[in-house]
């Protein structure tokens, strides 16, 4: 059942993307948004040759080094060998599937992973499992969206690396922890505690919590969260926000984040029920 709908999506993607990839000028005129683009390497894991080729060609047009592999075990080997800056990872693969590939790659060396899924509900399921991918994209997708998301992951990675450097240097410019109610967010170490207990979050969950905590008791639209956390704006991505909020609630408690239907989300620290009751 899964394989069947996946194949349908694959054909749709293939049909759509070949026209897009061959569009005149598709490979030119896009300034590499990520600093250090010349040395940026991307590992593409996709077993459908036509999709792999189209994706690799488009990413290479950004000036990135791209390597493509077609099965799960090769992907784990390639990630260890290449130490890529980003991994674009299909879920349905021969050998071991994308979930297991993601776990093994992340266990070896943390790297931003953009997971390609066949359906939106598959994305929800994967986020719920806490697989550790940083972003998800449902097939079929546009190449423009793919590039935007990879660039966003690179920017986020650089920000995180900078914060880690500042923390390691013990410099006074490292950002102090944020405390909201009984939740303490250590920005320098990228660690979270609630009620004194450490809660392990994926990098994306961490960034989302931090964005919500920056304006507690304030409703943030899904579009704004998408822009702040994922660093790109596209209404089709708001579902990603919903899925990650679900994952945060599962780890931190259902009471922490309030849904404002049709608008967005607000962080409501414990004991902040009365309006204006919280300390500044």
Q: Contact positions toward Ca ion, by CB under 5 A?
A: 47, 90, 92
In terms of CB distance, is 131 or 185 closer to Ca ion?
A: 131
Question: What is the rounded distance in angstroms from the CA atom of residue 2 to the CA atom of residue 117?
Answer: 11
What does the DSSP assignment read for 11-73? HHHHHHHHHHHTSTTTTSS----STTGGG-EEEEE-S-HHHHHHHHHHHHTTT-EEEEE-SHH
Coil/strand/helix, residue 105: helix
CB of 47 to Ca ion, least distance (A): 4
CB of 90 to Ca ion, least distance (A): 4
Q: Which residues lie across from 183 on neighbouring strands?
A: 180, 194
In terms of CB distance, is 78 or 192 closer to Ca ion?
A: 78
CB of 93 to Ca ion, least distance (A): 5
Copy the structure tokens of residue 192.
């979270």
In terms of CB distance, is 90 or 268 closer to Ca ion?
A: 90
Question: What is the rounded distance in angstroms from the CA atom of residue 273 to the CA atom of residue 243?
Answer: 25
Peptide bond into 237 cis (omega under 30): no
Q: Which residue in this structure is represented by tokens 């920000």?
A: 159
CB of 98 to Ca ion, least distance (A): 8
In terms of CB distance, is 72 or 264 closer to Ca ion?
A: 72
CB of 110 to Ca ion, least distance (A): 24
In terms of CB distance, is 90 or 186 closer to Ca ion?
A: 90
Q: In this chain, which residue has its C-beta nearest to Ca ion?
A: 92
Question: What is the rounded distance in angstroms from the CA atom of residue 72 to the CA atom of residue 63?
Answer: 26
């Amino acid at each position: 059942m899964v394989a069947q709908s996946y194949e349908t999506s694959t054909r749709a993607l293939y049909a759509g993307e070949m026209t897009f990839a061959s569009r005149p000028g598709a490979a030119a005129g896009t300034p590499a948004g990520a600093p250090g683009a010349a040395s940026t390497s991307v590992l593409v894991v996709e077993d459908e040759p036509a999709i792999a080729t189209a994706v690799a060609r488009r990413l290479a047009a950004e000036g990135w080094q791209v390597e493509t592999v077609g099965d799960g075990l090769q992907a784990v080997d390639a990630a260890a060998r290449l130490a890529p800056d980003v991994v674009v990872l299909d879920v349905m693969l021969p050998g071991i599937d994308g979930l297991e590939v993601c776990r093994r790659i992340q266990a070896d060396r943390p790297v931003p992973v953009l997971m390609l899924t066949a359906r939106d509900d598959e994305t929800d399921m994967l986020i719920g499992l806490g697989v550790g991918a940083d972003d998800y994209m449902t097939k079929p997708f546009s190449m423009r969206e793919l590039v935007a998301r990879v660039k966003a992951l690179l920017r986020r990675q650089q920000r995180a690396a900078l914060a880690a450097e500042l923390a390691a240097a013990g410099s006074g410019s490292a950002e102090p922890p944020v405390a909201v109610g009984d939740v303490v967010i250590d920005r320098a170490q990228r660690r979270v505690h609630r009620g004194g207990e450490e809660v392990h979050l994926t990098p994306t969950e961490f960034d989302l919590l931090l964005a919500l905590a920056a304006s507690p008791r304030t409703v943030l639209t899904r579009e704004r969260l998408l822009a702040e956390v994922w660093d790109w704006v596209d209404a089709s991505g708001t579902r990603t926000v919903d899925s990650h909020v679900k994952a945060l609630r599962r780890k931190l408690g259902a009471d922490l984040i309030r849904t404002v239907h049709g608008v967005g989300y607000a962080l409501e620290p414990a004991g902040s029920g009365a309006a204006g009751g919280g300390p500044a």
